[in-house]
Amino acid sequence: MTDKKKDNRRKRAAITAILLLLALLIGLDRCTDKEEPKTDTGTGATAVTTKKQKDNEPHKPQPSQLRQKPKRTRRQKVTETPVINQEPAMPQPEEELIAVMPAEEPVNIQPEPKKEEQKPVEAEEPAEVFAPSKHQFAIGVRAGVGYSSITSLGGMTESYNVRPQFTLKEKGSIVFRGGIFGTWRYGMIGAELGLDYLRLSGSTEKNTAAINLTEKMSVGCDALAPQLMFRFYPYDGFYMSAGAMAVLPFHTSVSYETSRTGTIYRQQDELAAKHLRETVSSNVQFAPALKIGYSDKKTGLEAAIEYDYGATDLLHTKKNEYGYTERCNNSHYIGVSIGYTIDLSKKVQNKKD
């Protein structure tokens, strides 16, 4: 019995010693846990507070930022879970600059004065005419001289079928031309509408060697010529045009004279001229036309060279007892004219301004 009691006492003493040892270890562990300071987790709130403190006192380190190493004992429970150290969040580049740079005094930034809005400057019209800008209208007057001729006048008085016993020459004459016109232009294209006074004339000279006689006959037509031309401007101011005109004769004159002298011969020549005027009359003629010219915008002057070809019959021969036959009479005209134009577009624009 005594031996059993001794064993029980020994067991109780050992259990009591183990329990006391465990209580001592637990107490030491708690003491070490209380002494360990709480570490910053690097959250955004602490970063903001540290940034503000650094702004207020940039050269003094804050005590909260000093990290203390925890005191740990050599003995530590095996069952204790290891502590994971979380790295503090890295500050943004702007926050680092604010933290490093010392606090500066606030600068009063005054707003820049508003610049006055400048009105857009209207661009000048280019000299080139390849891009259409606006419609341009102008009116003007012109005058010029030219050379005119009427063909086949000799065939009215003489037949070419028989062998001639004479020589016959056909000539033209210098004539006057003038009128009014209006133009329209849009970029490289344009048109011209005009009304001119025009005279077409021609003459024949017949020499008969057998009787030494020279006969001269001239025919002239005074007419109004309405004209429509279409223009093309390859360069600024320079133009080429093509169109047509209608010759509307309102007076026809015929003269006849010979180289014979004396009162009787002069009376015979006057009677022959009268017969010619009764026999020959003029018709409306259609004439295609070509023109090359130059127009100056600054001065308004215009110069042109024109050619007209009378494609239809100009003179008509009635039935008579004098041997005059019907022949198709064409006409030619080439002349130079100078004109002056007034730009209507500028006048309208000045009135609006």
Tokens representing residue 101 in the block: 């740079």
pLDDT, one tens digit per residue, over 234-293 is 988 899 999 999 999 999 998 888 888 888 888 888 888 888 888 888 999 999 999 999
Lowest-pLDDT range of 4-8, 176-180, 247-251: 4-8
For 260, residues 6+ apart whose C-beta sits below 8 A from its C-beta are 213, 268, 269
Q: Examine residue 7 and state whether it is found in any structural domain, yes or no.
A: no
Domain contains 93? no
Task: Round to whole Å and give the CA distance between 174 and 145.
Answer: 7
Q: What is the C-alpha separation between 261 and 268, in angstroms, rounded?
A: 11
Residue 169 lies in a domain: yes
CB of 311 closer than 8 Å to CB of 274: no
Q: Which residues pair with 333 in a beta bridge?
A: 148, 308
CA dihedral angle for residue 95, residue 96, residue 97, residue 99, rounded to 10 degrees: 80
Q: What is the CATH number of the domain that holds 189?
A: 2.40.160.20
Task: Look at residue 107 and tell me if it is in a domain.
Answer: no
- Mean pLDDT of all residues in 173-186: 95
Neighbouring C-beta atoms of residue 49, cutoff 10 Å: 13
Cβ–Cβ under 8 Å, residues 215 and 255: no
- The model's pLDDT over 111-140, given as tens digits with 9 standing for 90+, comes to 555 555 555 555 555 444 444 568 899 999
* Exposure b/e, 138-165, CB count within 10 A at least 16 = b: bebebebebebbbbbbbbbbbeeeeeee
* 157 and 324 Cβ atoms separated by less than 8 Å: yes
State the total domains in the chain. 1
Residue 338, pLDDT > 90, answer yes
Whether residue 33 is contained in a domain is answered as no
* Domain enclosing residue 347, as ranges: 135-352
**Are 325 and 155 spatial neighbours (Cβ–Cβ below 8 Å)?**
yes
CB atoms under 10 Å from CB of 99, counted, come to 15
Q: Is residue 273 part of a domain?
A: yes
Domain assignment present for 332? yes
Does position 146 have pLDDT exceeding 60, yes or no?
yes
Q: To which residue do tokens 């001289």 refer?
A: 145
pTM beyond 0.85, yes or no: no
CA angle, 325 then 257 then 250, to 5° = 60
Contact yes or no for 227/244 (Cβ under 8 A) = yes
Within-domain flag for 182: yes
